[in-house]
Amino acid sequence: MNKEIYLIKGLADEDYAAFNSRIAGLIEYVTETAQPKGITYTITDQAPPPMSIIPFSRQKIAAISVYKDHTNPANSFIDADGFYGAYRVTEALPVSFTKEWIDGQPTPGVCLLTLFSKKNNIDHPTFIDRWHNSHTPLSLRYHPLWNYNRNVVDEYLTTNDAAFHGIVEEQVRERRDLLNPFRFFGNPLVIIPRMIHVYLDTKSFIDYPTMETFLAKAYVVRSK
């Protein structure tokens, strides 16, 4: 099954309610007209906290995942105001939740959406190896992740796409699991060395200035 991710950012004069309503309308239209095999999305539905150990972007964004049997792009997303990128990806789920709620309801907890590019001085195989075989196990060991959706960008679908190589959605059961550093990284005896370890490991394969992180809410619109 083919998977594509579409990124759409909020407009300067658009508040969170208006942005969420616009994105929900676009997704409803594509779901009804294109009949994808599955469609999910994560979206910034409120401002991140003013202070956090995670450098959350204060921009509004939606990452819309479309699963289908064909490769025709979803032009309604590409033509949308605030379009930021469209990508064909390879998805992996190193850990995944068991869905016990109906389609359309918000997924419990919150999501850390991260967009990033490869470090310039390493080749692509090294990037993948460090990401998959070092950073993924590290994240699963240190953080209380309930769902980890890892996407390698295989192809850019337009000439205007932001040049990301990876898109990751890390979901936790409760908001405090992400925003409380002692819940996200561990107790006072281990938190500092774990934070340093994660930072150094991240910098070994990611071009750090390109990384964008967002506090988001997740939705399964149509289960694949």
Taking only the tens place, the pLDDT of each residue in 141-172 is 999 999 999 999 999 999 988 899 999 999 99
**Are the C-beta atoms of 92 and 135 separated by less than 8 Å?**
no
Kindly state the average pLDDT of the residues 106-131: 97
Per DSSP, what are the bridge partners of residue 9?
A: 61
Buried b (16+ CB within 10 A) or exposed e, 165-190: bbbbbbbbbeeebbbeeeebbbeeee
What spatial distance separates the first Cα and last Cα of the chain, rounded to whole Å? 10
Pairing assessment for the beta strands 110-116 and 212-222 based on DSSP bridges = antiparallel
The total number of structural domains that make up the chain: 1
Taking only the tens place, the pLDDT of each residue in 30-65 is 999 999 999 999 999 999 999 999 999 999 999 999
- Residue 161: per-residue pLDDT: 87
d(CA 74, CA 79): 9
Which residue range(s) make up the domain with 51? Answer: 2-222
pTM of the predicted protein model: 0.96
Q: Find the CATH number of the domain harbouring 215.
A: 3.30.70
Tokens describing residue 221: 């619109």
Q: Is the pLDDT of residue 14 over 90?
A: yes
